[in-house]
Amino acid sequence: MRAVGIVHNELKRGITPPRQKSPRSVIEILPSYAEGLQGIEPGQALVIVFQFHLSQAPAPLLQYPQGDTSRPRRGVFALRSPLRPNPIGLTTVRVLDVKENKLIVAGLDAFDGTPVLDIKPYVAWLDEPPAPEQAAASTT
């Protein structure tokens, strides 16, 4: 995989408390991918897929939720930890503006300098899980 862009915001590793979302991030899209921003509008929701480029490897399969050792360990696939077998993160954001090769968004929880791997529109009927009664009916 190759990055399509890079995050610029105020979130810094070691300075910013964990699990923060930036009120304003600029995703600078590489020039060769800038045409892919056509059709994105302010107010739109997008899913940003990014690389946890600062995570340590290998990731333990059992981890304490949010690093809290007073809680029982859980499997990595039950957590939103950045320590993962494949260091990939995703966040749903709101578009504030699009200017040339810059996508300005609210709600991104990636550090400054994070490589962005992909950008997808949030589509409720695709991205929301089925209602509990629908999920139960499909297993019978």
Residue 119 belongs to some domain of the structure: yes
**Which pLDDT tens digit goes with each residue over 55-70?**
777 789 999 998 899 9
The domain spanning residue 33 has which CATH number? 2.40.30.70
- Does any domain span residue 79? no
Residue at 34 is within a domain: yes
The CA-atom distances, in angstroms, between 11 and each of 8, 27, 61, 85 are: 8, 13, 27, 24
> Which residue range(s) make up the domain with 96?
5-52+87-138
Percent of the chain having pLDDT more than 70?
94
Residue pLDDT, tens place only, 18-47: 678 899 999 999 999 999 999 999 999 999
Domain count, the chain: 1
At 70, list the tokens.
Answer: 């007073």
Q: Please state the pTM of the whole predicted model.
A: 0.86
Residue 108 domain flag: yes
128 domain residue, yes or no: yes
